[in-house]
A and B are shown apart, each in its own frame.
Chain A
Amino acid sequence: MNPTLLTVAEASRAVADRSLSPAALTEAYLDRIDALDGELHSYVTVLREAALDAAGAAAREIAAGRSRGALHGIPIGLKDIYKTRGIRTTAGSPRYQDYVPDEDAETWARLRDAGAILLGKHETHEFAIGGPDFGLPFPPARNPWNTAYYPAGSSSGSAVAVAAGLCAAAMGSDTGGSIRGPAAYNGIVGLKPTYGRVSRRGVFPLSYTLDHCGPLTRTVEDCAILMQALAAYDPQDPASADVPVPDYRAALSRRLDGLRIGVVRHFHERDAVAAFGPDNAPGAPYLAAFDTACRTLERLGARLADLQLSPLIDYLDANRLIMLAEAYALHEADFRERPHLFGHHMFARVALGAFLSAADYVEAMRQRRELALEFARALAEVDVAIAANATGPAPRIDQVPFWGVYERASYTGPYNLTGSPALSVPIGFESGLPLAFQIVGKPFDEAGVMRVGHAFEQATEFHRQRPPIAASLPQLRQQARPA
C-alpha cells in the first residue's frame, strides 16, 4: 500500500486501527515532495521537522486513546496566503517574501485543533490573482497530468499537491473560481462554501465581499471531513454567519431519488460565445462529458430541468468590477508608492481598478443584489443546480492569455457574486487532461451539493484516476512500515 494514494477517509481509518502511523504517512508525503516537487513546484515552504514532530505527537495522543477524529494525523497543506504563526507566509509576492506572521488563520487553527498536520505552504498566484507569472520568486506550479500544462489558479500549488499525492488535502481560496478552476484542471474536488460559512480571518484578502476559503480534496467524502472542522461561526470575521452546521458525512448518499436539479446550460452553450467570441465555445468532448454527467444524475434518480438566468456577462462583469475595485483599494498605497514590489501580472490586472469610480462600484453592487435574488428565485424551484466549469482541458502553461482573467468566459465567477456554495467534481478527460462540472446550492446547503457530488462520484470512476506522475515513483521505504 502506498499511503499517499489513500484518501483522507481511508488514511483516517488506517491511522485509527493502527495499521498506519501518522509518522509513516507524513514521511511518505515528505519523500514524494522531495522526489516530485522539483518538477511540480507546488510548495514554497516545506515544514519537514515540524510536520514529523506533529506526527509523533498525534501518534502518542491516539495511542493514549485521545483521538481528535477523522483528521487526526492527516498531513495537509495551505495556500500561502493563509497566515501561519512563526512560518513564512509570502502571498506569492516579493512584497511579503520574508514575512513571518504572528497569528494563525482561523481555518488553520481549526484544522490543527482537529489533529491535521501541516506539511507546508503551497504556491499561489501573487495575492491570489497575479499568475502564472514566471518573474516571481516562486515558479508557477505545473499540472501533474502533464507538466507542460497549466494547473489553473490561483490555488494552483494546493490543487497540484493534492492531485499528485504530495498532501492528503489542502486549503485554497476562491474570489472568481480560484478553488474550482484548479480543482477542474487537476482532476480533484474543490468546494467554495457559502459566503460566511468558513472564516476568512488571517487569510490575505483579494476582494472582501467575494473571497471564500475552502478545501481541495481527492473525493467529496474528504471534502465533507474537512468541512466538518472548518464550518463555524467566527465572531472576528465580519462576514461570518452564525448558521447551524450539519453532519456533512452523514448527509452523503449513493442515490438522488426525487431530487430536483436545475441545469444552467445557456451560460456555456450560448452566452459565452455571444459575449466573449467564438474561441470561447465549449469543445465537443466537454459538451459530451457534461451531457453524460446529466444522464448519470438522472440514473441516480434526479429530475433535471434547465434554468434560465440573466446572461453570463451580467454576472461576470459585476463580479470582476467588484473584485477590481476592492483589490485596488486594498493595495492602492503600494500601487502609488512601491509599484516595483508587484509582479507583472498582479500589477497590470489590479492597477486597472484605479480607473473605476465609486459610482461604478455601487452600480456593480446593485446589480449583484439583483442577480443574487434572481439566482435564489431560480433555485427555489429546485434542490441544487449544475453548471459547467472550465469547458475544455487545461491550456499549455506558456499559452495562458495575459488578459484571460477579463477577456474570457468563466463559469465559476457567478457563484462568488451570489455567495452560493459551489462544488467542482471531475466528469471526464480530454487528451489526458481532466474535465469537471459544478454543483451549486442554496445558501449554507453545502451538505446538499456534497450529497449530489458524492453520489455522482460513486457512480463514476473519474476520481479514482490519478496523474501518471502520482504512480511513477517506486515503492517508498515507509510503505510496509507498521504503525
Chain B
Amino acid sequence: MVSEPSISPERFAVLVERAGLKLTPEQFEELREGYRFVERMIRTVRRPRDRAAEPAHIFVQPRP
C-alpha cells in the first residue's frame, strides 16, 4: 500500500543533502514515502524522561 508521503519534496531534499546521499528521482520518492516510518519511530521514543534514565544494553535482573 502506497501512502501519501508525510514530508514535502522541498523539506526532504534538505535532509537528503545534509545526509550526503546522491539519489535518483525514483530513490528520492521511495525514501520520501518511507520517511513516515522514521517519523513514527521518533515520536514513539521521544518522551519525557528523568535525566538519570541512562541508555544501556546490558541485562540486570531486578533484586528479589
**A46 contacts B by Cβ under 8 Å:** no
Partner of B34, one of A196, A352, A369, A419: A352
CB of B37 within 8 A of CB of A403, answer yes
Main secondary structure of the interface of B (DSSP, over half): loop
CB of B40 within 8 A of CB of A317, answer yes
Q: Which residues of A contact B41 (CB under 8 A)?
A: 317-318, 320-321, 324, 360, 364
User: A352-B35, A352-B37, A365-B56 in contact; A401/B1 too (CB < 8 A)?
Assistant: yes
User: A317-B44, A351-B31, A442-B61 in contact; A324/B38 too (CB < 8 A)?
Assistant: yes
Give A321 to B44 CA distance when docked, in angstroms: 10
**A299 contacts B by Cβ under 8 Å:** no
Which of B22, B31, B45 has the most CB atoms of chain A within a 10 A radius of its CB?
Answer: B45
Which residues of chain B from 20 to 64 have any CB-CB distance to chain A below 8 Å in the complex?
20-23, 27, 30-31, 34-35, 37-38, 40-42, 44-47, 49, 53-57, 59-62, 64
**A335 contacts B by Cβ under 8 Å:** yes
Q: Which residues of B contact A443 (CB under 8 A)?
A: 59, 61
Interface segment, A3-11, A371-379, A384-392? Answer: A371-379
Q: Which residues of B contact A407 (CB under 8 A)?
A: 37
- Can you list, as one digit per residue, whether each of A319-363 has a CB less than 8 Å from chain B (1) or not (0)? 011001000000000011001000000011101101110001011
Main secondary structure of the interface of A (DSSP, over half): helix
Partner of A368, one of B31, B57, B60: B57
Partner of B38, one of A348, A352, A369, A370: A352
CB of A380 within 8 A of CB of B62, answer yes
- Can you list, as one digit per residue, whether each of A396-423 has a CB less than 8 Å from chain B (1) or not (0)? 0000010100110000000000110000
User: A195-B59, A355-B38, A442-B61 in contact; A317/B21 too (CB < 8 A)?
Assistant: no
User: A363-B46, A364-B45, A369-B53 in contact; A376/B35 too (CB < 8 A)?
Assistant: no
Question: A369: nearest residue on chain B (CB-CB)?
Answer: B56
CB of A380 within 8 A of CB of B64, answer yes
With A209-B57, A314-B44, A403-B34 known, 6 other A-B pairs at CB within 8 A are: A194-B59, A351-B31, A352-B31, A366-B54, A369-B56, A373-B60
